[in-house]
Amino acid sequence: MPLPEEIPSGVRVVVRTVEGRDPEDGRLKFRDYLGHVISWDGTSLVLNRDPAANGSREGQEVRLPAVCIIRIKPIPERTYPLGHHDGNRPGRQDAGDPARN
């Protein structure tokens, strides 16, 4: 699948990359990155990677070379129920309703 010519900054995407072959079993290994696009110039994608949902990894900025990217898919923003500890982050279900804030 060809990569897009343009990707708007701020869009939330999941990116699958190929990491190479496992030396033990010879199978291809992949890694997925989920985050918001900072920039895309056709040769590399810069992402503001989301923190891990279980808290094991903080958010980080990553640069992914286009030659390693297999697939890019848009992903909806996270939604948070009222009272969730991340409720002040973008994507909260009631963020636009001042009566609920």
CATH of the domain at 80: 2.30.30
CA distance 99 to 89: 17
Residue 41 belongs to some domain of the structure? yes
Residue-level pLDDT at 35: 95
Residue 56 belongs to some domain of the structure? yes
Residue 45 belongs to some domain of the structure? yes
Q: Which two tokens stand for residue 78?
A: 């996270």
Report pTM: 0.73
Residue 19 belongs to some domain of the structure? yes
Residue-level pLDDT at 53: 82
Residue 86 belongs to some domain of the structure? yes
Residue-level pLDDT at 38: 97
Per-residue pLDDT of the chain (101 residues), as tens digits, is: 789 999 999 999 999 999 999 999 999 999 999 999 999 999 999 999 999 888 899 999 999 999 999 999 999 887 766 666 665 555 444 444 444 43
Residue-level pLDDT at 36: 96
Is the alpha carbon torsion for 88, 93, 98, 101 positive or negative?
A: negative
Q: Given the structure tokens 């640069």, which residue do they identify? A: 63
Q: Please check whether residue 35 is in contact with residue 59, taking contact to mean a CB–CB distance below 8 angstroms.
A: yes
Residue 99 belongs to some domain of the structure? no
Residue-level pLDDT at 12: 95
Residue 97 belongs to some domain of the structure? no
Rg (the chain; Cα; Å): 16
Residue 85: what are its φ and ψ, rounded to 5°?
-65, -20
Residue 3 belongs to some domain of the structure? no
**Number of domains observed in the structure of the chain:** 1
β-pairing, 69-74 vs 12-21, is: antiparallel
Residue 43 structural domain: 12-91
